[in-house]
Amino acid sequence: MSNLPLGALMVDVQGLALSDHERRFLCSPNVGAVILFTRNFESKPQVRELIREIKSLRTPSLLVAVDQEGGRVQRFKKGFFPLPPIRQFGIRYDAEPQEARSLTRIAGRLMAAELADVGVDFSFAPVLDQANNTSTVIGDRSFHESASVIAELAGEFVNGMNSVGMSATGKHFPGHGGVEGDSHLMKPIDNRSLIELRNSDLAPYQFLASRLGGVMTAHVLFPKITDELPTFSSYWINQVLRQQIGFKGVVFSDDLSMKSAHDAGTPLQRTALALQAGCDMALICNDATNAEFVAQELTGAQTAQYRLETMRIKPEPLPADDEIAHMETQLQRIS
């Protein structure tokens, strides 16, 4: 077992178990976390063993994350409750606000409990983007079109996650709901002003700043504010998010392999720019060759270990089977 501080890269692995090559790669000093995808999941026992092995490679152990939002974005399925799209909670809120708040808190608790049970440290959730009919990539991944309702429901979701020792990560800062394009495939452009954003997309971050463990940046360009993507912008990360909003947690880049980020240069250049701008951890996903190259060639990357450690799952008691069954029954009302 290697004794290494956590590095600044979050990377992925290819299959249901680690190869010898991946074991060596994950011991690179620049690696600090692993994100798991659907291809890494077959069953609870299998993914539990995969995570156990990942965490056995180093001290402190690598962080392990997954996208387990619900609806379209739920990487682990067999044996896990099929979480509804979070838009369903917003729809219920319009009719029964108190019930919606309760169900949203239950969803956050159940999601986090199921992941903690197999050893995952955190899920990249909740989504704080606003619902917008023109944004199909976000769509039902958003709680609501109202920033105040998003903040309220997301706060309940965070409470549920926190109740089993899991930190929450809001995404995608400063907002992805106002654009039609998918940043996986292109560079979306949002022509709103900062004042417009403060009254909309930024409001949930302001409301939840002290309660979020992490924030993930958006690969969306806001040309009326700055000519840099938020992921590569010290203005967005340090001035707006850190100083004005007061966020003190971990800043994750969105995946630097996404098409929207390509104009910033090579994978190594993108990574260096994101870290220099203020990201604590840079994601390179679904591109093993470049992830390994960056891990080998990146120099001078320093991470705030105390911040990264806040994303590690805490040893809180997990719900008993009867509570799990009750939560599932409650959520089936809107699934």
- Residue with structure tokens 């949203």? 104
Is the CB of residue 190 less than 8 Å from the CB of residue 178? Answer: yes
Distances (CA, A) of 18 to 57, 113, 119, 149, 213: 11, 25, 16, 42, 28
List of residues 6+ apart from 193 with CB closer than 8 A? 224, 225
Distance CA 261, CA 263 (A): 6
Q: Is 85 helix (H, G, I), strand (E, B) or coil?
A: coil
254 catalytic, yes or no? yes
Determine which one of 67, 121, 129, 254 is catalytic: 254
In sequence order, what E strands does 37-155 have?
Answer: 58-59, 63-66, 68-70, 73-74, 122-123
Name the residue among 318, 335, 315 with its Cα closest to residue 110.
318
172 catalytic, yes or no? no
**Run of H or E residues at 35:** strand 31-36
Which amino acid type is present at position 289? T
Alpha carbon dihedral 321, 323, 329, 334, in 10-degree steps, equals -120
Alpha carbon dihedral 233, 234, 240, 242, in 10-degree steps, equals 130
Determine which one of 21, 94, 184, 227 is catalytic: 184
DSSP string, 266-332: SHHHHHHHHHHHT-SBEE--S-HHHHHHHHHH--S----HHHHHTTSPP-PPPPPHHHHHHHHHHHT
Is the CB of residue 51 less than 8 Å from the CB of residue 66? Answer: no
Burial 83-99 (b: 16+ CB within 10 A, else e): bbbbbbbbbbbeeeeee
- Give catalytic residue positions: 184, 254
